[in-house]
Amino acid sequence: MTEENLTLLNRISIDPKVCHGKPCIRGTRILASTILDALASGMTFKEIIDDYPSITDEDIKAVLLYHASLFTYEDDAA
């Protein structure tokens, strides 16, 4: 994994004391799955940021990378 990707992944936090340990954008209580659902429904980065002004393009990219890495590691283990 590249250093840039590791930097992006650091934007995602998993803390059992925040949102029941579900992955969130660091420093917020915005679930990564909420952002992924918004993208899946067709929202653009700009529309998502308009709805959640505390996040950035990089945060959205981090959500995508985080979810993609879940499947990549599962595939590598098989």
Task: Please state, in angstroms and rounded to a whole number, the distance separating the CA atoms of residues 20 and 7.
Answer: 24
* CATH number of the domain where residue 64 is located: 1.10.10.10
The more confident residue out of 17 and 71 is 17
By C-alpha distance, which of 20, 22, 25, 21 is closest to 9?
A: 25
Q: Is the pLDDT of residue 74 over 70?
A: no
pTM: 0.86
Task: Please state, in angstroms and rounded to a whole number, the distance separating the CA atoms of residues 58 and 64.
Answer: 10
Q: Once rounded to an integer, what is the mean pLDDT over residues 26-34?
A: 97
Task: Please state, in angstroms and rounded to a whole number, the distance separating the CA atoms of residues 29 and 32.
Answer: 9
Q: Is the pLDDT of residue 71 over 90?
A: no
Domain that holds residue 30: 3-77
Please write the tens of the pLDDT for every residue from 46-68: 999 999 999 999 999 999 999 99
Q: How many domains does the chain have?
A: 1
> Cβ distance 26 to 56 under 8 Å?
no
